[in-house]
Amino acid sequence: MYNITLVGTHHGEIGKSNSDELYKIIESLNPDVIFEELSTDHFDIIYTKPQILGEPPEVKSIKRYLINHNIRHIPVDISLNPLLLTNDIENIFGAFKRYEVYKKLEEEQIEMTVKEGFTFLNSKRNLELSEVKKITERNLIEFMPNKNQILRLWNLFYEEQDKRENEWLQKIYNYSKENYYDKAIFTVGAGHRKSIMQKIQEYEKKEEFKLYWSFYEG
């Protein structure tokens, strides 16, 4: 009872990281609840239409699973900070990629995701690469024009990620306290995996209500 598996994903389909492979994982875990990294607004739009252009693999695989499985699937994300314009964030991360040291880290992640799919996305090596990338980002900002403005946006971006992750776990625990289930999964972008795992450890120390977490490794 209350077994929940964290599955790190990639929001685009590349190589072995695709909706077919994710569907196989979901089938093997056989959940009766799926927690999704979607806000309520996006959830309502996505699941009231048969298909939307550019659907992420998580949505494709869950829609497919719903055809033959009577399960509950729950959105746990929040609406994004309006101060963080998508173009601004994309420009900042695009600027990082102009530096060879960052580009190599990104290329390794992409190459391994293509080759190994969800096994890599849920691996220790991917956790390490994500951590090194964040440290590298902070160091590179010091060499950029308008570094103070870039640093402010970069901090806002990661503060929002932290807020989102806290909300995800709060919603999962709140739902679980009020609704019984045997097995659940939580699909989340693999870049959040390390911080989510750390936050789960904190929850396990302070929460009387226990969820039995496991972490997909392929």
List, for residues 76-125, the tens digit of each pLDDT value.
999 876 666 678 889 999 999 999 999 999 999 999 999 999 999 999 99
Q: Which residues of the chain have pLDDT under 70?
A: 81-85
The pLDDT score that the predictor gives to residue 52 is 74
Give residues with Cβ within 8 angstroms of 92, minimum separation 6: 150, 153, 154, 157
Say if strands 212-215 and 3-9 run parallel, antiparallel, or are unpaired. Answer: parallel
Q: Which long-range contacts (CB under 8 A, 24 or more apart) does 127-130 make?
A: 127/193, 127/194, 129/105, 130/190, 130/191, 130/193, 130/194
